[in-house]
Amino acid sequence: DVKVTQSSRYLVKRTGEKVFLECVQDMDHENMFWYRQDPGLGLRLIYFSYDVKMKEKGDIPEGYSVSREKKERFSLILESASTNQTSMYLCASSWLSYEQYFGPGTRLTVT
């Protein structure tokens, strides 16, 4: 079974803190994605990566950066957390353009 794990299920951070969200997949997938999910707005793509050290901006990259140093790991970084980044963050991976496998999500609250 494909497994995508995320470092935390729940996270509470203060405004201005640097936040790291980590995602690990065990199926040697080339593609990895970071989304945020907000009520009424659905899933929105923040960044994706199609290979080690390769990244592309998604629809809402402002305030975020990413790192992919190893194929199995994709990190999302909030350089200076703000309250409008309070959200559910979901990581996913896929082989080419086939189905995406999602992690359990991290519910981040920024106070």
As measured in angstroms, the least distance from the Cβ of 29 to other proteins is 9
Q: Long-range contacts made by residues 93-98, C-beta under 8 angstroms, separation at least 24?
A: 93/2, 93/4, 93/23, 93/25, 93/27, 93/29, 93/31, 93/32, 93/33, 94/29, 94/30, 94/31, 94/33, 95/27, 95/28, 95/29, 95/30, 95/31, 96/30, 96/31
> Binding string, 13-32, against other proteins, x = CB under 8 A?
-----------------xx-
Q: Which of 19, 34, 36, 48 binds other proteins (CB under 8 A)?
A: 48
Measured from the CB atom, the residue of 14 and 57 that comes closer to other proteins is 57
Q: Which of 34, 100, 106, 110 binds other proteins (CB under 8 A)?
A: 100
Q: How many residues form the binding site for other proteins (CB under 8 A)?
A: 27
